[in-house]
Amino acid sequence: MSARKIGLLILLLGFGAVVETAWQVRGDLRIGPEGCRVIRGRFYGPSYSFEQTAERALPAGEAPRLEIRNAFGGVSVAAGAPGVMKVKLRKVVFLPTEEKAKAFADRIELRVSGEGSLVKVGTNREDVSRGEEAGFETHLEIEAPPETVAEVRNEHGRVDLSGVASADVASSFDGVAIEKVAGTLKLESRHGDARASGIGGGLEVTSRHGRVEISDVAGAVTLDVEHGDVSARTTGALNASVKFGGFAAERVRGDLAVRGGHSEVHASDVAGRAEIETSFAGIHLARVGGDVRATAQNGEVTAEDVAGGLFAETTHGDVRLERVDGPVQAIADHGGVTGSGLAKGARVRTSGGEVSLDGFTGPVEVEAERASVRLAPRAAIADSITASATHGEVRLDVPEGSRLDLDAESRRGELRADVPGLASSETSGEPGRGHRMAGKLGGGGIVVRLRADGDIALETKPAGPIADRPVAKPAPATPPPTSEAPPSPPKPPEAAPER
């Protein structure tokens, strides 16, 4: 390789490295007089802490409102005594000597303002940081009465909040942990993980670039998450939009709706309906109390123990179903369909993937392109069965006690019927050339129509139950703990939609 080429390669890779580094530290890198002060939202070097406190008495009979504004430091709100708001500011100054740090810290002020029941908490950090003489963090610790309605805005600092009536929190570049909120919670998080638990009302979460973990939410939940995994446990009705991250939900008391993109979706113990769509990943459901509608582009759908009906559509992925009590409709483009324990029949259409139904009752209609069909009802056939396979075979197990009118045709294969008692009324063609058979079993009554380019085979099997066990019900979602919630909470605006 010539020196010219090596030079260009180094130039391009160096350019790429510079761009990637600039992308990683964008907005977070500043060089001050003491050297590198901030990388990814944190200060480094020797530091000294100083504290300042304030207290504010609150008027009786009115729910306190708390507004907090902060940056480059944590915010902590915890339940305190009624009638008073206690605020502590911890100032951490990054300077080489305590003397210099103390002099700088004296310029940082805690500001508590507002009138009546409104308390605004902040600092003068914007005025102080304008000179860029030193790096400093402002950590706010607040004790608020349990009836407090809190609003928090913070950047580059962790937010911990608990024991208030309701909250509206926006945080970026660090984590958020919120628990024991009696009413509603609105949470916006960017570039940090978010955790919320023990929410007595509704929950609304918007998150970008961070993991979201929620649990024990009494009310309805709305999630809008991109670039982060979602974990939800024991919630009310859940409506989620998730992109570029996995989604897992357990114990949803109401309906579940998920619109995913590049998101693997797992959900179990859903009391209501489940309506899921995603792409480039699969959908996996277990124990759903209502209907299911699952659409996966470039992904598979698996579902077990569904009490209602089910609609599943995939491209480039299989559909696998176990124990569905309602009617099933499954469409798989470039994928197969496998089902067992289907209590109310199925309409199945596939291309390029096998169809195998093992244990079913109710009408069944199967259409397979470039694939074979295998049907094993297990119970005596009591509803019509229609199956067609282009470029494939059809196999049907005939349980004992079935009564059917058979109409079968193998266009280019052989037709075999190993069914004692089947009275053939019409046979035409020959194996390989339109081999057709019509007949009755047990006096007839149920239409069974089979068409295949390949072989068609019928075989008698002993009758039995269609599944090894009945459809499992969703596990009950226990309500969130309310014993530790603040007393006399305001009525949450969004009640949990119980089914």
Partner 1 sequence: MSRPSFSPEGVTLGVCLVALGVLWTLSNLGRVEMLPVVRTWWPLSLALWGVLELADLWVRRSSGRS
Min CB(26)–partner 1 separation in Å: 6
Min CB(208)–partner 1 separation in Å: 14
CA separation for the pair 125, 38 (Å, rounded): 16
Closer CB to partner 1, residue 226 or residue 367? 226
| Residues whose CB falls within 8 Å of the CB of residue 495, separated by 6 or more in sequence, listed in order | 219
Min CB(42)–partner 1 separation in Å: 22
Closer CB to partner 1, residue 16 or residue 481? 16
What burial class does residue 21 get, using C-beta atoms within 10 Å of its C-beta: 0-12 exposed, 13-18 middle, 19+ buried?
A: exposed
CA separation for the pair 15, 20 (Å, rounded): 9
Closer CB to partner 1, residue 10 or residue 39? 10
Min CB(5)–partner 1 separation in Å: 5
CA separation for the pair 482, 182 (Å, rounded): 8
Closer CB to partner 1, residue 50 or residue 244? 244
Closest CA to 47 of 94, 99, 102, 105: 94
Min CB(245)–partner 1 separation in Å: 20
CA separation for the pair 233, 218 (Å, rounded): 11
CA separation for the pair 289, 84 (Å, rounded): 47
Min CB(19)–partner 1 separation in Å: 5
The SS3 call for residue 14 is helix
Closer CB to partner 1, residue 13 or residue 81? 13
Which DSSP string do the residues of 271-318 spell out, in sequence order?
A: SS-EEEEEESS-EEEEEESS-EEEEEETS-EEEEEESS-EEEEEESS-
Closest CA to 451 of 389, 368, 383: 389
Give how far Cα 349 sits from Cα of 134, 338, 371, 387, 388, Å.
68, 12, 11, 10, 10
Q: Tokens standing for 250?
A: 């357990």
Instruction: Report yes or no: 324 and 343 within 8 Å, Cβ to Cβ.
Output: yes
Closer CB to partner 1, residue 8 or residue 103? 8
Min CB(16)–partner 1 separation in Å: 5
Q: Tokens standing for 232?
A: 């939800």
Residues near partner 1, by CB under 8 A: 4-5, 8, 11-12, 15-16, 19-20, 22-23, 26
Instruction: Report yes or no: 149 and 63 within 8 Å, Cβ to Cβ.
Output: yes
Closer CB to partner 1, residue 22 or residue 81? 22
Closer CB to partner 1, residue 20 or residue 55? 20
Min CB(227)–partner 1 separation in Å: 14
Closer CB to partner 1, residue 190 or residue 374? 190
Instruction: Report yes or no: 364 and 343 within 8 Å, Cβ to Cβ.
Output: no
Min CB(186)–partner 1 separation in Å: 28
Closer CB to partner 1, residue 2 or residue 483? 2
Q: What phi and psi, each to the nearest 5 degrees, are found at residue 12?
A: -65, -45
Residue 416's beta-bridge partner residues?
457
Residue 402's beta-bridge partner residues?
none
Residue 457's beta-bridge partner residues?
395, 416
Closer CB to partner 1, residue 22 or residue 31? 22
Min CB(39)–partner 1 separation in Å: 17
Closer CB to partner 1, residue 19 or residue 36? 19
Give how far Cα 379 sits from Cα of 117, 346, 361, 385, Å.
70, 15, 7, 13
Closest CA to 422 of 441, 396, 450, 397: 441
